Amino acid sequence: MPDADARLIGAHDLALAALHEITPASTVGPAAGYFVEDDGSVSLRFENRLPGYPG
């Protein structure tokens, strides 16, 4: 697995803004870490506040 690029990990605000374009802010919880993909991209994770989808 490649090392995480600090710029991608630090893109929290950009990722959150993109997420708010597709779902109401009230459904998005706090940051929940990240995952480095095989190609070097980084998946930033956020907790889910949608009813029926805990965590």
Residues of the chain with pLDDT under 50: none
A 10 A CB-CB count for 45 gives 13
Task: Look up the pTM and report it.
Answer: 0.76
pLDDT, the chain, mean = 87
User: Residue 40: helix, strand or coil by DSSP?
Assistant: coil
Identify the DSSP state of 25. Answer: G
